[in-house]
Structure 1
């Protein structure tokens, strides 16, 4: 079993633990609980762990997984690997680790935010003093794939619902710019889809996998079945959760 395989397996198991933290009455704070209706209506969910180091400025490294419903269906596709990195122009000092969940309301939001590559731009504020802290994030995700609209090149920007616990010793606020991309090679390796005899351009991409365009035997990966089952269970237990409008907004525009 390769290190890439083990890495994505750990990410999926971490996502299961994060879902528990945000949906269990025993562990989720009232202002951070993701309600069952919100999960039921979601078209995609990203589970991310982010590390930030700041000294009157900062750098961020992020990794995690994305799951999404197959277009035109209520069935969830297989998870794929994500990673990101960026910089914060902030007044900030310290180190923090954020456990972040992004709930995506539309297929368009899934495509824009985490399909292949995107940039997150926004304002952020965070206080972490010990094992539990809070991050407030007002951001837009901008897809890097451009299209022509009315004769001009345009990119889609969307807003999403964001939940985040943090830990460490950190205080800061400012502007954040983070680049995200799917990790195609790691995802293929996990599902046994890499083939040295096939040109990379002909191998399946993460986008194809998350959209259900590639047959995946999830029975061979019990942790995948556990994650998808956990999401379906949390979506059906009728918890009200926190007010959605305190966790972000859903909108889209071209720019």
Structure 2
């Protein structure tokens, strides 16, 4: 059931005590599975001030992460009572970071749903895995390898500097400004009506990003952030 349950580790010191008081109510998250995905996620959440409980069946992974987490435990969360023992049912969010063991991923997701954790995220290693998780009722399914593959493909094959696609065929792109958008105010360039995209940000060499307005004049060499339907932003980013 539980191989070994570490005493829940709390960071000490006034700064983290104050931080815990601020975040314990709605910034607590259990990360189940501390492989590359789970450990990276847990570290980032800790950096952002969240109260993180890291759980894994592998003692070595837990030991490696324990000093950097608010709490850590060696436990098998495929057993429903283990989640209750760890108090995960009281958390506002939980992440299932297990990908390679699909059966364990599904069992843990089911247990979290049964425990009525309000916000459940789960990693999937294939679309089929993701579909099963969605049918179970998992609130957010992530396919990191697939999504990163699509993102890198866009960067390799085009002029894009970054690419993020959302579920509803909507994307955000960072790209060098094409000539069609330079030299005149954005409101006069008719970028939105011609190409179906909106320029929302601009960065000139040596300067920080700023919001773009209808009066903004984009210059050659500027980096811009564009939003719109995926096909529209792809087409716009390829303009010379």
Q: Sort the TM-score into its range (normalised by shorter chain).
A: under 0.3
Scaled by the length of structure 1, the TM-score of the pair is 0.20
Which structure has the highest helix share of the two? 2
Which structure has the highest strand share of the two? 1
Rg bigger for which structure?
A: 2
Work out which structure has the larger RCO, using CA pairs closer than 8 Å and 6 or more positions apart in sequence: 1
Scaled by the length of structure 2, the TM-score of the pair is 0.21
